[in-house]
Structure 1
């Protein structure tokens, strides 16, 4: 009589716990990092909208920063402070750059740092 050994299939309890822990940690990272990049997309859209304003190179720094503040307020972007917006004007030339970083705590003393630097130039 020949005994056939069945091949075991499936996960053990320990491998299931490790797999669920890995999936949970990846989900946590995605849920923490994704909003940072969604907010950055709103910042890029605000830059493009301000760039398209007619005669933006003739406006004062206060007016330009106020335009950004209104757009960020409407879109609920709170990571950018007024000192993060750098404006360079010279005659009909305008360069606006936004440099900021976002630190998002993950667990305990582990955090994620994202640095962004976007700009546009208008005029000659």
Structure 2
């Protein structure tokens, strides 16, 4: 099935996985489970509200699990589920693509903007 053939549910999931923070959160959690504040430290640009919303969406979709750790004081850890772990290789490939081609994309954007800007 091609992305253009996805139904509404498929498109929503695709939008969720390629959302602003989802890939970065999943990438961090594929390394190891983390507490909320550890994720915030790894992703300093994300607001607490956005991170909470992202984690809840990923948990609802079955990609992330929230585990209460019985420590003093009680803590919560987030980790990827077996389903979420199936995204690890495609996610790594996408992250590598971004790193390898970011300069190319920036050059293309600059060229496009120069052609479109009034002289």
Alignment TM-score, normalising by the size of structure 2: 0.30
Q: Which has the larger radius of gyration?
A: 1
Alignment TM-score, normalising by the size of structure 1: 0.29
Q: In proportion to residue count, which structure has more strand?
A: 1
